[in-house]
């Protein structure tokens, strides 16, 4: 990725020809990636998703046709060209088809009844991506005002949020949305998950808004950043994940777990979604916070090595050898 960036810089002001070869075409994004990861572990899924409209697009059919996956699709998906490197990834997103997603469209094509039934039925509720959808705040507030009050046992459920790349929105947008989150926490436990770049964006926005309470200035390594952010948000779980480690911060404790990192991954796009799926599922299954991010780490570690969403047998095998993967950069699994 560094070499690619250097090439772009070198030809700035002129031109360059860069060849690409399509390695694979697959479904992706928040709903399909989290769905694949959880469903492979036996979880029944209920989705409202942009998988094609009026018909589901072919690339999503392997998921949509499963009896344990129930989906209502209400618009066409975005399209991403993913450029994967050993040291990172670049995702070139065409999001034109999802820019029109708003509350009225959701009510018309999905229906409030489906939302009521799904929220009532499910223990975990996930929403993404705030950064991509300019109407997300309105949708979010409508869910808070029109849906959640009719749902029972909210304190026994959990809402999981994935913001996506916060650099796509302004600092004011981000601060405004972050200030909404305590309203959710008042109704039900909330988990906000951030990758390393998103965490830097959030901490920067909170500092600019003079909301940071701690005097700690050095937060570049992100190992303590979760504590700083959650001093402001005060939510049930604030998660930060990177290729090297993950942290989870509750209202009174902070945990840090090293990842089974490899410098030579075969897949990177979708890794964060697999981590999130493992973490929230661990919490839902009553693992403690540290065990939950370890489960998330293991899920993503298997995925980046194989491109396959692991089952419980895979998870057990990786966790059994977890320390070996920490001590040695091993790109192979099993």
pLDDT in tens, 83-94: 988 888 898 988
So what's the pLDDT on residue 126? 98
Quick one: CA torsion of 244, 130, 61, 48, rounded to 10 degrees?
Answer: 130
Residues of the chain with pLDDT under 70: 215-220
pLDDT, one tens digit per residue, over 156-197 is 999 999 999 999 999 999 999 999 999 999 999 999 999 999
So what's the pLDDT on residue 215? 66
DSSP 35-50: HHHHHTTT--EEEEE-
Q: Closest Cα partner for 214 from 199, 202, 224? A: 224
So what's the pLDDT on residue 216? 58
pTM of the model: 0.92
User: Residue 31: is the preceding peptide bond cis (ω within 30°)?
Assistant: no
So what's the pLDDT on residue 22? 87
Handedness of CA 184, 32, 41, 165 (dihedral sign): negative
So what's the pLDDT on residue 44? 98
pLDDT, one tens digit per residue, over 115-138 is 999 999 999 999 999 999 999 999
So what's the pLDDT on residue 94? 87
């Amino acid at each position: 990725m560094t070499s690619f960036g250097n090439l772009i810089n070198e030809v700035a002001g002129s031109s360059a020809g860069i060849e690409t070869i399509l390695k694979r075409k697959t479904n992706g994004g928040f709903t399909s990636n989290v769905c694949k990861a959880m469903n492979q572990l036996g979880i029944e899924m209920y989705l409202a998703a942009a998988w094609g409209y009026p018909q589901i697009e072919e690339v999503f059919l392997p998921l949509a046709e499963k009896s344990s996956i129930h989906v209502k699709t209400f618009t066409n998906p975005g399209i991403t060209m993913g450029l994967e490197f050993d040291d990172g990834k670049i995702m070139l997103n065409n999001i034109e088809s999802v820019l029109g997603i708003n509350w009225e469209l959701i009510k018309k094509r999905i229906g409030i009844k489906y939302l009521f039934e799904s929220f009532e039925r499910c223990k975990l509720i996930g929403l993404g991506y705030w950064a991509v959808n300019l109407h997300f705040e309105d949708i979010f507030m409508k869910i808070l005002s029109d849906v959640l009050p009719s749902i029972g046992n909210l304190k026994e459920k959990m809402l999981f949020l994935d913001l996506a790349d916060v650099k796509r929105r302004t600092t004011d947008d981000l601060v405004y949305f972050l200030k909404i989150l305590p309203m959710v926490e008042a109704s039900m436990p909330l988990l906000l998950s951030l990758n390393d770049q998103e965490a830097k964006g959030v901490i920067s926005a909170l500092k600019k808004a003079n909301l940071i309470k701690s005097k700690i200035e050095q937060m570049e390594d992100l190992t303590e950043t979760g504590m700083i952010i959650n001093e402001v948000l005060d939510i049930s779980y604030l998660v930060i994940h990177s290729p090297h480690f993950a942290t989870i911060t509750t209202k009174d404790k902070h945990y840090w777990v090293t990842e089974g990192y490899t410098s030579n991954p075969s897949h990177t796009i979708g890794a964060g979604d697999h981590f999130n799926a493992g973490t929230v599922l661990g919490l839902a299954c009553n693992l403690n916070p540290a065990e939950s991010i370890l489960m998330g780490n293991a899920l993503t570690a298997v995925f980046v090595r194989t491109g396959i969403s692991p089952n419980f047998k895979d998870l057990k095998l990786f966790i059994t050898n977890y320390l070996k993967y920490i001590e040695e950069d091993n790109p192979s699994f099993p």
